[in-house]
Structure 1
Amino acid sequence: MTQDEALTRREWLAYGGAVVGGGLLAGCSGSEGAGDADSTQTAGTPTDAEATQTAAETDQSYSVSMSPVGEVSFESPPETVFTRLTHHADMAFALGRGDSVTAMHAPDYYDGLWNQFVERLPGVSLDWSGLYSSWQPSKEQLYELDSDVHLADPAWIVKQDAWSQSDIDEIAENVSPWFGNSLSDRHQQPPDSWAGSYEYYTLWEQFELVAEAFQERERYQALAAIHDDLLSTIEADLPAESERPTAVMLASADLDEIWAYTMDQPGFLNAHTRPLGPRDAFEGAIETNSTVDFEVLLEADPEVILFLGGMEPGTSLPKRRETFKSDPAAAEITAVQNDRMYAQGARYQGPILNLFQLEMTAKQLYPEQFGQWPTYGEGPYPEIPADEQLFDRQRVADIINGDL
């Protein structure tokens, strides 16, 4: 495929400013001069009506800027969306484009996990099963998917998957642009080529930019209002810091190897725990994403344990609780003795999962202030009485479905 062919195929979508490396997708070429008004019309020269239509279409173009790609110009909203991580897939879902996603990391796993929450959104459905698994994407597959936008971070892909800058530029030029930010997850260092210029965003700051790219400002504002109200509710009722429990977040497939995560680190991975301000059970003694064993956990002695992935279908929280209770060291942990071991969803949350996880974590940490979290073993997000819900499910469902 030649570049000219690619530009003809993708003339609706083009880079508009300085972006990754030096490879840019040129915009649509301007119309030829109209010449003298009295000159004879020749074959291939646009009529006045055609020129007017072209000008009108050009006037509808818009640009959005996001680090690390810079400014991207669109002539119409993208219709198909490549994603790599679930915070971006959830953003597309929130904007009514869940079915437009063409790829994502571990699609069957996250389809099952997300649908545990979607169950509580009336009239909303989601199906990510069977999509291309894009954790280590190939250029060939990106050509085949032919997505209208790559809602993924090229700096992350260069950092993790050994793609070259020329690979990134090739896809941007011949398929469609990159438009995503992932290293804001925990403020990771970007590759050297982006050092000093990479910008970190909160989850909702990045969601606003994605909404701009899809021309969905109204949907974003409606969801952001719900998020702001939820944060205000939490902030108004948070107990004094000295009265908050010590807590730790854990992840493990089978508890043979356990990863521990602190809950106040910068980045959108903690967008549902940092606003709640629990005390770090490790008191800074370990870094986030460290492996620990039961003895280390006993020494930290958290009052609350949160299990990442605990709501994934097929995961039994009662079995995890029993494993802790049957171990001599783990059984002595305060959270285990007081049955304060709770399920969580996912770290790479988008706006919809963030709303649910803020609510559930508020109840798990502070039941006296925000209501008791129901006893949960497995299955969908539990039913919570309407007067104990911290946000309106029907309103969120309506926004996703376009009823604003």
Structure 2
Amino acid sequence: MSNGNEVPDEPTRRAFAKYGGTVALGGLLAGCTGGGAESDGSDGGASDGNSTDDGSTDGGDSEESADDAGDGSYTASISPVGEVTFESPPETVFTRLTHHADMAFALGRSDGITAMHAPDYYDALWNQYVERLPGVSLDWSGLYSSWEPDKEKLYELDSDIHLADPAWVTQVEGWDRSDIDEIAENVSPWFGNSLSDRHQPPAEEWADGYEYYGLWEQFERVAEAFQERERYEALAEVREGLLSTIEDGLPTESERPDAVLISSGDMETVYAYTLDNPGFLTSHTRPLAPNPAFGGSVESGATVDFEQLLEADPDVILFLGGMQPGTSMAEVRSTLENDPVASEVTAVQNGRVHPQGARYQGPILNLFQLEMTAKQLYPDEFGAWPTYDEGPYPEIPQEERLFDRQRVADAINGDL
């Protein structure tokens, strides 16, 4: 394909090999083979797959599905795409959402990312954390912004894999199932799952067999697609140790703080988010199990005012986007402290207004956010989170760190 305006009449050799050439593409995209967990009755019939409550993986069938096909090719599977055959590990990677971009980064493919949502914003945010990983660098600035992807641009990018959920892409204006099939045939496969974010119901055409994955369960499947099992296992071991530390130190339910997660661009309109709902958006708060101060009175993403915040009266306020370089936590705290209503909130009075990063987190951001949120919620158990106004992730003394930065850096860099 010589330019982004030419659409090949026939599948390219690369696309044909990657899908194995033995099954009609429509059948491949109809749903993942196997699986079959029971529906929870609230997701439009979509399956829960093998996802566990804390987002951990039970292994599923990903290792079996990554068997070598005998000619150098191999297969991997994920819902809603199904089983995909690759002739070689992908090097260039189209992504749409940052949980997938972070997975590619974790697997040593950061330099190969060709697109992502709001690249400059998230480049700045992720680098706040990458600063604490020795010998690791990340540069997503200037990439194609893919929130509403243009089909012809995907031809031009010519990525080896589209790490994005086709069931979500078809919700974008101008995209339908035939466009998904066309890109898969003529450029490269789709291999991603995004509706697991909060167990959103897929459109009817994707509902049959759609599975929800915990963050690290999906990461394992993505690692199989890239033939990076060793990197995945090294990072999963770090996470298991971190979760074990959290589990051992978690106080009883009656001793846990009431908490809220909010965001705002101007502190005029404030959005509230749930902390414990299913899905990978809460994979850093659900294991820590704070008491949700809003209870069930506020839906995730709803706007709230300071009167509602005072009525909930949280012990801890987690401020989403507070780690982004364009946000000053000092200004956020000052706004709350100077408001006659917000200043009465317990968290504001006690100086417990803390930054958060992003909900669409991949494995690397998840490790940092588990550590920081544990310290923000339970300073007596896990060491205090330092007062943060702006700048990179604070330099935590080595004896107070909840995971090994060097081990994470080594996995990203392939030094295993």
Give the letter for the 1:103 counterpart: A
Deviation at 1:57, TM superposition (A): 9.2
Report whether the alignment pairs 1:290 with 2:302: yes
Match of 2:146 among 131, 134, 152: 134
State the distance in 1 between where 2:337 and 2:21 align: 58
Deviation at 1:396, TM superposition (A): 0.5
Q: Can you list the C-alpha shifts for 1:8-65, whole angstroms capped at 9, x where unaligned? A: 35454225776874587xxxxxxxxxxxxxxxxxxxxxxxxxxxxxxx9962111111
Match of 2:102 among 87, 90, 108: 90
State the distance in 2 between where 1:171 and 1:98 align: 22
Q: Could you say if the C-alpha distance between residues 106 and 397 of structure 1 is closer, same or farther in structure 2, counting changes exceeding 3 Å?
A: same
Q: Could you say if the C-alpha distance between residues 168 and 10 of structure 1 is closer, same or farther in structure 2, counting changes exceeding 3 Å?
A: closer
**Residue pair 1:307, 1:342 contacting (<8 A) in 2 also:** yes
Indicate the RMSD between aligned Cα atoms, in angstroms. Answer: 1.7
Report the counterpart of residue 36 of structure 2 in structure 1. none
Match of 1:7 among 8, 12, 19: 12
SS in 1 for 2:327: coil
Deviation at 1:155, TM superposition (A): 0.5
Give the letter for the 1:148 counterpart: D
State the distance in 1 between where 2:412 and 2:22 align: 31
Mapping of 1:89-108 within 5 angstroms? 89-108=101-120
Unaligned runs of 5+ in 2: 1-6, 30-67
**Residue pair 2:115, 2:143 contacting (<8 A) in 1 also:** yes
So what's the TM-score if we normalise by structure 1?
A: 0.89
Report the counterpart of residue 210 of structure 2 in structure 1. 198
SS in 2 for 1:218: helix
State the distance in 2 between where 1:213 and 1:3 align: 27
SS in 1 for 2:357: coil
Q: Could you say if the C-alpha distance between residues 304 and 73 of structure 1 is closer, same or farther in structure 2, counting changes exceeding 3 Å?
A: same
Mapping of 1:161-310 within 5 angstroms? 161=173, 163-310=175-322
SS in 2 for 1:59: coil
State the distance in 1 between where 2:22 and 2:273 align: 38
Computing the radius of gyration from Cα coordinates, the structure with the larger value is 1
**Residue pair 1:20, 1:70 contacting (<8 A) in 2 also:** no
Deviation at 1:109, TM superposition (A): 0.2
Deviation at 1:3, TM superposition (A): 3.8
Report whether the alignment pairs 1:371 with 2:383: yes
Alignment size in residue pairs: 372
Q: Could you say if the C-alpha distance between residues 236 and 370 of structure 1 is closer, same or farther in structure 2, counting changes exceeding 3 Å?
A: same
State the distance in 2 between where 1:15 and 1:141 align: 25
**Residue pair 2:15, 2:189 contacting (<8 A) in 1 also:** no
Give the letter for the 1:14 counterpart: Y
Q: Can you list the C-alpha shifts for 1:305-325, whole angstroms capped at 9, x where unaligned? A: 001110101210000000111
Unaligned runs of 5+ in 1: 25-55
**Residue pair 2:16, 2:185 contacting (<8 A) in 1 also:** no
SS in 2 for 1:369: helix
Report the counterpart of residue 328 of structure 1 in structure 2. 340
State the distance in 2 between where 1:18 and 1:117 align: 43
Deviation at 1:2, TM superposition (A): 3.4
State the distance in 2 between where 1:159 and 1:234 align: 38
Match of 1:356 among 368, 371, 381: 368
State percent identity of aligned pairs. 71
SS in 2 for 1:159: coil
Report whether the alignment pairs 1:68 with 2:80: yes
Give the letter for the 2:8 counterpart: T
State the distance in 2 between where 1:73 and 1:278 align: 43
State the distance in 2 between where 1:332 and 1:376 align: 21
Give the letter for the 1:88 counterpart: H
